[in-house]
Amino acid sequence: MAMKRNASGSGSLRKRVRTIQGVEYTYWEGTVSVGHDSATGKLIRKTISGKTQKEVRQKMQDVISDVNHRKYQDPSKSTVAEWMSEWLETYCKNKVKPLTYQSYEAIIKNHIAGTIGAVRLQDVTGADVQRVYNAMVENGKSGKTVKNVAAVMHKAFSMACKQHKISFNPVDASELPSSTKREITPLLDNEIPVFLQAIDDSPFRNAYALCLFAGLREGECLGLNWDDVDFQKGTITVRQQLQKDKKAARYYIMDTTKSGKPRTIKPPPICFDYLRDEQTKQLSNRLRAGKAWDNPDNLVFTDALGKHLIPMTFYRHFKKIVTEIGRPDARPHDLRHTAATIALSMGADIKSVQDLLGHATASFTLDVYAHATDRMKQDTADRVQNYYDNLLIAK
């Protein structure tokens, strides 16, 4: 039997009486509205029960307060792994670059799912997130990799907060482990002429030189379009990259750079000497290939038939060259570091170097090339000291 009672406050209370195995039990039951079903638009009601009317009323008021302050989470058995999968499919797919999506997917599979994937989403804590970090450190992962994983977790859990699935972001209750930043290794002044001589017979000579003198990323260089090279103005507009779709095992041209914005740079004139040489070589290849020529993206760097270059081949050939000249530690990206370091050492201001490299902020450029800016500070101090020394001697 049931007897309805009106109570102060929102919602309604009912006194319930149930008989189980001949024993009569009395309890109170209340219902409150907690929102609307996103699919049907129907009102969602939550049922709350307790031994006394006062207890149930307090629980109802707590729920109503959480709903009004957008803190209410409907009890769910959904796990971290299930939410990460939903986040990827609903909030990332078709909204981030394919390469970014694949990196998120790999991070979740390799570092998150196996450690805290089975934890109920509403139960996940800062300590759980810390376990992910600790496991990565124990497995020898770099500080940069740990930060990347932390960033993905923070994004996924932030969306869970927005959807009122959890009340706070557990990543905010964790601490990234201390890590040593990898030191960049640009080519030294005496190594640059040796490198340029070593690449002279390489089929990738002009591409390597452009990375060195213009500070392009590997993907930006291999995705460069002839329409974006202005020989008359001496400028290059960087607006796309050559990237690999790991799932489809193919390459594609991505029409945005890493920052998502095109940039127009004015590199030293020597860059255009190498570009003119590549233009001549490509014209010769095109004449030889005839109808077999196929360069629909009008790429600057192609093979003999107009196809894009293979980044892995580009990389392996580079490693062979730098090993032969005694710099086996160098990577293609270190050519970009070399361009930045030289520009800074020649007195270029940080904003100009930031624009050249396409960094989001000048502070990031300062952080990456702190070694070069430290040397600039010392040079400035030495020049100022020399000024005062000469001034004092003149007196």
Between 349 and 173, whose confidence is greater?
173
If pLDDT is split at 50, 70 and 90, which confidence band does 37 have? low
The answer to whether the pTM exceeds 0.95 is: no
Name the residue type at position 217: R
Our CA angle for 359, 212, 99, nearest 5°, is 50
Q: To the nearest 10°, report the CA torsion of 245, 320, 201, 289.
A: -30
The pLDDT assigned to 15 comes to 83
Domains annotated on the chain, with CATH: 2-68 (no CATH), 80-173 (1.10.150.130), 191-377 (1.10.443.10)
The three-state (H, E, C) secondary structure of the chain, written as one string = CEEEECCCCCCEEEEEEEEECCEEEEEEEEEEEEEECCCCCCEEEEEEEECCHHHHHHHHHHHHHHHHCCCCCCCCCCEHHHHHHHHHHHHHCCCCCHHHHHHHHHHHHHHHHHHHCCCEHHHCCHHHHHHHHHHHHHCCCCHHHHHHHHHHHHHHHHHHHHCCCCCCCHHHHCCCCCCCCCCCCCCCCCHHHHHHHHCCCCCCHHHHHHHHHHCCCHHHHHCCEHHHEECCCCEEEECCEEEEECCCCEEEEECCCCCCCCEEECCCCHHHHHHHHHHHHHHHHHHHHHHHCCCCCCECCECCCCCECCHHHHHHHHHHHHHHCCCCCCCCHHHHHHHHHHHHHCCCCHHHHHHHHCCCCHHHHHHHCHHHHHHHHHHHHHHHHHHHHHHHHHC
The pLDDT assigned to 207 comes to 97
If pLDDT is split at 50, 70 and 90, which confidence band does 286 have? very high
Question: Which pLDDT tens digit goes with each residue over 194-249?
Answer: 999 999 999 999 999 999 999 999 999 999 999 999 999 999 999 998 887 666 56
| Alpha-carbon 234 to chain mean position | 32
Question: Which pLDDT tens digit goes with each residue over 100-134?
Answer: 888 899 999 999 999 999 999 988 999 999 999 99
Question: Which pLDDT tens digit goes with each residue over 342-369?
Answer: 887 777 777 878 888 877 676 667 666 6
Question: Which pLDDT tens digit goes with each residue over 298-344?
Answer: 999 999 999 999 999 999 999 999 999 999 999 999 999 888 888 87
